[in-house]
Amino acid sequence: MRRLDQLLANLGYCSRSAARDWVKAGAVTVRGEEADDFGARVNEVEVLVDGQPLDHPAGLLLLLNKPLGLVCSHEAREGPNVYSLLPERWRRRNPQVTSVGRLDKDTSGLLLLTDLAPLVHRLTSPKHKVPKVYRATVDSDLKTELVARFASGTFLLEGEKEPCAPAELTLLSPREAELTLTEGRFHQVRRMFAESGATVLTLHRVRFGELTVDEVPPGTWRELPLNFFGSVGR
Ligand code: URA
């Protein structure tokens, strides 16, 4: 149960004071009755605004095919971000919609977005080891011995003391490969290839756990059930 004015504001409808005006103007019903108390604690599934059910009151979980050129940060000074693709109401939600981990500005592909903070923590926790598959093209031929180096569990990135967890490299052609990681260090794919003498030219995440991005056009998303990764609270 949440306060009616707070609920509307948190779901991005309007400010809390505007929500009070909406209630006073008779735009909101609770259990079929026109609401008259904006401070009442309500069950979100029983609330209608202008006759319509609330917009995803229990939370949002989206599989976005991230296009190139957008960042995952909310900081305006970092440039245009992935949230600009979403409807305005979703961009105003509190808790805010955020990415599950990050993809670089120059990386495309599968990115999960959600306003369920516990889910973000669960999916990004090193404990859970969710496999993420990246397809990379590079500027020089990859040697087959790299497969064993990445899989060894002893591969060290510059400036780090902890070796990378074993990673699976599949060579698709001399300059194209798929790399499966179970962790998410800063710029990890680019740094692993750089450490091996190759510069990544293009990078696309094709898979996150069981999910693939194949049927989602770039810049669009599909909704996932909130319990897709098991039950999760707010
Ligand atoms: N590794 C990178 O280098 N960049 C990404 O965006 C994701 C993984």
Q: Which residues, including other chains, have CB under 8 Å from residue 18's CB and lie 6 or more apart?
A: none
| Cα 188 to ligand 1 centroid, rounded to whole Å | 5
Residues 197, 216 within the same domain: no
- How many contiguous H segments (helices) and E segments (strands) does the chain have? 6, 15
Distance 203 CA to ligand 1 centre (A): 7
Q: 74 and 15 share a domain? A: no
The mean pLDDT value for 137-154 works out to 98
What CA–CA distance (Å, rounded) separates 102 from 112?
A: 9
- The residue-averaged pLDDT of 142-151 equals 98
The finding on whether 203 has its CB within 6 A of some atom of ligand 1 is yes
Ligand 1 centroid to 187 CA: how many Å?
Answer: 4
Rounded Cα gap, residues 30 and 88, in angstroms: 25
Same domain flag for 43 and 68: no
User: 164 and 115, same structural domain?
Assistant: no
Cis peptide, bond prior to residue 80, ω within 30 of zero:
no
Spot the catalytic one: 104, 106, 115, 214: 104
**Does the beta carbon of 187 sit less than 6 angstroms from any atom of ligand 1?**
yes
7 and 34 in a single domain? The answer is yes
Same domain for 164 and 110, yes or no, is no
The CATH number covering residue 194 comes to: 3.30.70.1560
pLDDT at 69: 98
Q: How confident is the model over 175-231, as pLDDT tens digits?
A: 999 999 999 999 999 999 999 999 999 999 999 999 999 999 999 999 999 999 988
- Decide: 189 in ligand 1 pocket, CB within 6 A: yes
Q: Does residue 216 sit in the same domain as residue 119?
A: yes
pLDDT tens profile 90-143: 999 999 999 999 999 999 999 999 999 999 999 998 888 999 999 999 999 999
Nearest protein CA to atom 7 of ligand 1, as residue: 103
For residue 135, give the DSSP letter.
E
Q: Identify the domain containing residue 20 by its residue range.
A: 2-53
For residue 21, what is the domain's CATH number? 3.10.290.10
Beta bridge partners of 49: 28, 52
From the CA of 190, give the closest atom in ligand 1: 3
In this structure, is residue 49 part of a structural domain? Answer: yes
pLDDT at res. 126 = 81
How many Å separate Cα 54 from the centre of its chain?
Answer: 22
Q: Are residues 101 and 149 in the same domain?
A: no
Instruction: Indicate the number of domains in the chain.
Output: 3
Residue nearest ligand 1's atom 2 by CA: 187
Q: Are residues 218 and 112 in the same domain?
A: yes
Contact indicator for 72, 187 with CB cutoff of 8 Å: no
Assess whether 136 and 194 both reside in one domain.
yes
How long a stretch of residues is the chain? 234
Assess whether 214 carries a catalytic annotation. no
Distance 95 CA to ligand 1 centre (A): 26
The single residue listed with the structure tokens 């959600």 is 114
pLDDT at residue 213, rounded to an integer: 95
Cα angle for residues 190, 195, 197 (degrees, 5° grid): 95
Tell me the CA distances in angstroms from 113 to 105, 123, 134, 178, one per residue in order: 16, 11, 18, 23
pLDDT score, position 127: 87
Please check whether residues 182 and 201 belong to one and the same domain: yes
Residue 234 lies in a domain: no
The pTM for the full model equals 0.95
Cα torsion 154, 183, 82, 207: sign = positive
**Contact indicator for 146, 105 with CB cutoff of 8 Å:** no
Q: In the predicted model, what is the mean pLDDT of residues 153-157?
A: 97
